[in-house]
């Protein structure tokens, strides 16, 4: 079933409008081209509605925000909703400032998202409306994160993806725990931004199966992190690793994903 | 003759002021350093005129525009004209929004360009002043593109470069069709932006031979795409390919270009 | 002793707030992750104070300035001072425009820096308040640069780092001349920005030994340039070299640095 998600993406080649940040923009664009989609990037309020119109999906990344960019996120998000295009939210560092928290609040109020991806702290911040602090115990923390993910999905109607040691994907009811990935991915900047872009492509190509599409993206990214890690030679570090992950996305087939996806489902 | 273009560029090491976009800025800077030139990047109206003054050439890239950046493009372009420095225009996605179309209109009205580089749709949009739609038939389309390129060159006095399956370079009269390149270059983000930067360097180093310089840049970029493609091993994807193309630019000599350039000329 | 600087950095994993530029932002973030620190990037006046609060150190890079970013640099710098966090200044191209010179003047007036890193021309411009011109004789030039570095350190209380054929690190009294590095590093864009980020991490992890920390960073970056250069194969150019330098930073240990550091000290 995950195979079919990739197949549709390679077939339909969705054009994704990414409003992202300048740290990860180049990597997101190369990832989208590599997976078979393509990207257009615009971030000014004066043109984002028009650019959104010509695309099949929208990815809104809150990294390195400023008031003008935040206005653009809102305009593009509302336009995607009007057109029925799927929109993905990546609330990068939402707990880092009042500016980001207020931006997230407005985005969740004004835009209907097909998917939201963040780490445990970011998702907890969206749920609580205030910065979440780490729990004392890892198991308790894990339970709290699953509860947060389910709650956010139910409240927003979005597929919620939480990335961490184990990744979670939920529509508020079914919850998948994904075991793909490698700890070294934490040493590659923007790996989360890249995953959000991939979620955008897969959902745009499979609009009627958002949960499966989100799950496929999370498994694909983690699996490519594993494939890339096996390719490392002794002098390779995080810069080569970053390239190898993108290379693995480029070569990812429905069959490789079907065979390598590693997840369990909790209904 | 193309060899001489590169030789001059490596000898004179032109300093190029690039007003580009944050997706391709890092690649453009590394390409310019690799080819033997160097880059300075500034994009604010308050300083672009001064920065242009200290440079040998200017590249204006319309990607990810905003009103402040567009003002900077105009200021820098006029200053380059005043100083007699060559200016190159890359009308990225000019058909994507009214903002970009209006920007292109003002740039063509106020700045004299030594070269303009775009894909067939972008060049057609510049010629028609409105978004061009794809023709039904590939041959017809090709003829229309050549006619557009010639017309734009005649109207503006710029060398016009159209990149696609076959690249074209024309001064409005002579038209070169370049067969270098590899289809996989489409999976590398910003390959077009990089070529525009290279055109800027080659013309800045060869100001009296703009057609030859533009042709050399187009052949060089395509040839490096071929060289890089031959270097790919099975796990390499578009991220490694991107690095290999830049590596090939770094190692490109007058002799390699002279031997590998593949084009025909239509007078 | 340099070994201990790295050891502390890998142990404390400082979080560095980088206000940098979009050419080198991705490389700076990957370098910080690779060295064992981590990065958060924000550049808007509305949030930089808050972001600075959650970090251990601050790096202010003047590349691609605009008035809003410059306001953010000042706000973040003052906040770092208030909190006692070390702040590093990279006056990229300070001689290129009045905007940059005025920005540098305000930054030096309002912010106390733990370290300042630039090339000989940038440091001379900070000292003279006007653009410096190259001396006729290389030895004279070298003497002038050392004098400038010492003067700037004494006037500001910052460790001053001048990168060039030989790098210098001084607190105004002791001056280290670092012989690590490779000329090919000049063909990698943002190598200086990356070094400034590394200085920020090492000083944040060793706040009581700023001179040793700055020296360790300069030796580390140069040594990684040497290690990466030995790894080059014939088709590798500056793009692969850039990745190999970052890879070497990722693998750098206290022992490798201690053994490879190449400097002499002038008291």
The closest CB to that of B96, out of A25, A39, A51, belongs to: A51
pLDDT at position B179 is 97
Contact across the interface for A50 and B190, Cβ inside 8 Å: no
Listed in sequence order, the residues at least 6 apart from A234 whose beta carbon sits closer than 8 Å to its beta carbon are: none
pLDDT tens, chain B, 267 aa long: 899 999 999 999 999 999 999 999 999 999 999 999 999 999 999 999 999 999 999 999 999 999 999 999 999 999 999 999 999 999 999 999 999 999 999 999 999 999 999 999 999 999 987 665 544 466 677 899 999 999 999 999 999 999 999 999 999 999 999 999 999 999 999 999 999 999 999 999 999 999 999 999 999 999 999 999 999 999 999 999 999 999 999 999 999 999 999 999 997
Rounded Cα gap, residues C191 and C63, in angstroms: 13
Stretches where chain A sits below pLDDT 50 are 134-135
> For the whole model, what pTM was predicted?
0.97
Residue listed under structure tokens 């000042």: C74
Average pLDDT of the segment spanning C9-21: 98
Q: What is the mean pLDDT of residues C100-116?
A: 97
Strand-pair partners of C245: none
Q: How large is the average pLDDT for residues C64-82?
A: 98
In chain B, residues with a C-beta closer than 8 Å to the C-beta of A26 are: 22-24, 26-27, 189-190
User: Measured between CA atoms, how close is A130 to chain B, in angstroms?
Assistant: 31
Helical pair A238-251 and C25-35, crossing angle rounded to 10 deg: 110
Q: What is the pLDDT of residue B135?
A: 46
Task: Determine the residue of chain A that is closest to C52 in CA distance.
Answer: A96
Q: Using an 8 Å CB-CB cutoff, list chain A residues near B23.
A: 25-26, 29, 41
Contact between B86 and B57 under an 8 Å Cβ cutoff? The reply is: yes
Chain B residues lying within 8 Å of C238, measured CB to CB: 30, 33-34, 246-247, 250
> Is A238 near chain B, with CB under 8 Å?
no
pLDDT above 90 for C136? no
| pLDDT of A171 | 98
Strand pairing class (B175-178; B263-266): antiparallel
d(CA A230, CA A232): 6
What's the ipTM? 0.95
- Burial (CB count within 10 angstroms: exposed 0-12, middle 13-18, buried 19+), residue B14: buried
* CB-based contact C80:C58 (threshold 8 Å): yes
pLDDT at residue A131 in the model: 63
pLDDT at C133: 54
Closest-CA residue in chain A for C55? A96
Put simply, whether B183 touches A (Cβ < 8 Å) is no
Q: What angle do CA A177, A181, A183 make, to 5 degrees?
A: 115
Q: Give the pLDDT score at A263.
A: 98
Residue C92 pLDDT greater than 70, yes or no: yes
The pLDDT of residue C100 is 97
Tokens of A40: 């257009």
CB B108 within 8 A of CB B156: yes
Domain count, chain B: 1
**Percent of chain A scored above 90 by pLDDT?**
93
Strand order of the β-sheet with C38-41 is C38-41, C15-19, C57-61, C87-90, C115-119, C159-163, C167-170, C175-178, C263-266
Chain centroid to CA B93:
14
Taking residue C3's Cβ as centre, other Cβ atoms within 10 Å add up to 16
Q: Of the candidates B197, C91, C20, C192, which has an alpha carbon nearest to the alpha carbon of residue A189? A: C20
User: What sign results for the dihedral spanned by CA atoms A9, A13, A17, A23?
Assistant: positive
When scoring A243, A253, A256 by the number of chain B Cβ atoms within 10 A, the one with the most, hence best to mutate, is: A243
Q: Which residues of C touch A67 (CB under 8 A)?
A: 44, 46
Measure in Å the smallest separation between the Cα of A229 and chain B Cα atoms: 12
Nearest CA to C159 out of C216, C110, C106 is that of C216
Measured between alpha carbons, how far apart are the two ends of chain C, in Å? 17
Residue B236 and residue A247: Cβ atoms within 8 Å?
yes
Tokens found for residue C246: 């970052």
Using the Cβ of C129 and the Cβ atoms of chain B, whether some distance falls under 8 Å is answered with: no
pLDDT, residue C140, reads 73
Determine contact, residues A116/A91, Cβ cutoff 8 Å: yes
Q: CB of B249 within 8 A of CB of A261?
A: no
Q: Do B96 and A42 count as a contact with CB atoms less than 8 A apart?
A: yes
Residue of C nearest to A27 (CA): C26
CA distance, residue C63 to nearest chain B CA (Å): 8
Q: What is the pLDDT of residue B140?
A: 73
Mean pLDDT of C208-237: 98
pLDDT value for C142: 84
Average pLDDT, chain C: 96
CB atoms within 10 A of CB C170: 25
Residue-level pLDDT at A135: 46
Task: Answer yes or no: are the C-beta atoms of B63 and B38 closer than 8 Å.
Answer: no
The closest of C191, C246, C235 to C61, measured between CA atoms, is C191
A190 part of contact set with chain C, CB < 8 Å: yes
Q: Which residues of B touch C94 (CB under 8 A)?
A: none
Residues of the domain holding C245: 2-266
Contact status, residue A49 vs residue A76, Cβ threshold 8 Å: yes
Distance to chain A for C133, nearest Cα, Å? 34
Which residues are A89's β-sheet partners? Answer: A60, A116
What is the SS3 string spanning chain A? CHHHHHHHHHHHCCEEEEECCCCCHHHHHHHHHHHCCEEEECCCCCCHHHHHHCCCEEEEECCCCCHHHHHHHHHHHHHHHHHCCCEEEECCCHHHCHHHHHHHHHHHHHCCCCEEEEEHHHHHHHHHCCCCCCCCCHHHHHHHHHHHHHHHHHHHCCEEEEECCCEEEECCCCEEEECCCCHHHHHCCCHHHHHHHHHHHHHHHCCCCHHHHHHHHHHHHHHHHHHHHHHCCCCCCHHHHHHHHHHHHHHCCHHHHHHHCCEEEEC
Q: If we measure between CA atoms, which residue out of A188, A42, B194, A142 comes closest to residue C246?
A: A188
Q: Which of C197, C117, C132, C131 is nearest to C164 (CA)?
A: C117
Q: Is A177 on the interface with C (CB under 8 A)?
A: no
Which CATH number fits the domain that encloses residue A98?
Answer: 3.40.1190.20
Is a pLDDT exceeding 70 seen at residue C219?
yes
User: What crossing angle do the helices spanning B191-205 and B210-230 adopt, rounded to 10°?
Assistant: 140
> With contacts defined as CB-CB under 8 Å, which chain B residues touch C96?
40, 42, 47, 50-51, 54
Q: Where are the beta strands (DSSP E) in chain B?
A: 15-19, 38-41, 57-61, 87-90, 115-119, 159-163, 167-170, 175-178, 263-266
What is d(CA C171, CA C214) in angstroms, rounded to the nearest whole number? 10
> Which residues 59-78 of chain C have a CB within 8 Å of chain B?
63-67
Which whole number is the average pLDDT over C63-73?
Answer: 97
* pLDDT greater at residue A101 or residue C131: A101
């Amino acid at each position: 079933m995950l195979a079919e998600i990739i197949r549709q993406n390679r077939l339909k080649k969705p054009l994704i409008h990414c409003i992202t940040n300048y740290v990860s923009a180049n990597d997101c664009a190369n990832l989208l081209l590599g997976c078979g989609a393509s990207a257009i990037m615009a971030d000014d309020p004066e043109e984002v509605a028009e650019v959104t119109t010509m695309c099949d999906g929208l990815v809104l990344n809150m990294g390195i925000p400023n008031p003008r960019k935040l206005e653009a996120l809102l305009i593009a998000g509302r336009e995607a909703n009007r057109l029925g295009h799927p929109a993905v939210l990546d609330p990068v560092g939402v707990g880092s400032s009042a500016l980001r928290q207020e931006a997230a609040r407005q985005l969740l109020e004004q835009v209907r998202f097909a998917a939201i991806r963040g780490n445990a702290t970011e998702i907890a911040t969206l749920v609580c409306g205030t910065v979440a602090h780490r729990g004392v115990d890892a198991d308790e923390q894990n339970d709290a994160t699953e509860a947060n993910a389910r709650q956010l999905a139910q409240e927003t109607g979005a597929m919620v993806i939480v990335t961490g040691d184990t990744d979670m994907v939920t529509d508020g009811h079914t919850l998948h725990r994904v075991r793909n990935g490698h700890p070294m991915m934490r040493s590659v900047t923007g790996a989360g931004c890249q995953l959000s872009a991939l979620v955008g492509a897969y959902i745009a190509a499979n609009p009627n199966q958002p949960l499966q599409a989100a799950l496929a993206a999370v498994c694909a990214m983690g699996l490519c992190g594993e494939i890339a890690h096996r390719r490392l030679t002794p002098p390779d570090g995080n810069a080569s690793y970053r390239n190898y992950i993108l290379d693995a996305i480029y070569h990812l087939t429905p069959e490789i994903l079907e065979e390598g996806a590693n997840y369990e489902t909790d209904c």
